[in-house]
Amino acid sequence: MTDIKINVQNPDGSIITLEAPTDMGLSLMEFLKGNEYDILATCGGMALCATCHVQVISGIEKLKEISDDEFAMLDTLPNITETSRLSCQLKLANELDNITVKIMGDGL
């Protein structure tokens, strides 16, 4: 499979489903920015700023375990949730197929 579905929950609660390529080495952050979602990604995807914070609404069990560095960055945010992740640390791959995310931003 080369394309997966990524569901994005908008601020109004509606959900948009996007087709995402898995063969380009993109992170979820890069994909969302490419689809004109408002993600700052200040550090360019190095897990140093948390401005690409997303809440995984469904599908968290499919994701690889969170790294210590990613958790340490998320832990600085006022709006962290049980299913918070940095979208720059999630590579588009088959295991992300059909996850639903809500863009949280930097929480500021």
Residue 59 domain-assigned (yes or no): yes
Average of per-residue pLDDT across 29-48: 92
Q: CA dist 25 to 38, 73, 76, 91, Å? A: 21, 23, 28, 7
> What confidence category does residue 41 fall into, taking pLDDT thresholds of 50, 70 and 90?
confident
Q: How many domains does the chain have?
A: 1
Residue 97 predicted with pLDDT over 70: yes
**Residues with Cβ within 8 Å of residue 86, at least 6 apart in sequence:** 29, 47, 50, 52, 53, 54, 70, 73, 74
User: The domain spanning residue 73 has which CATH number?
Assistant: 3.10.20.30
Residue 108 domain-assigned (yes or no): no
Residue 27 domain-assigned (yes or no): yes
Domain range for 21 is 3-103
Query: How much is the pTM?
Result: 0.92
CA nearest 96: which of 46, 39, 32, 45?
32
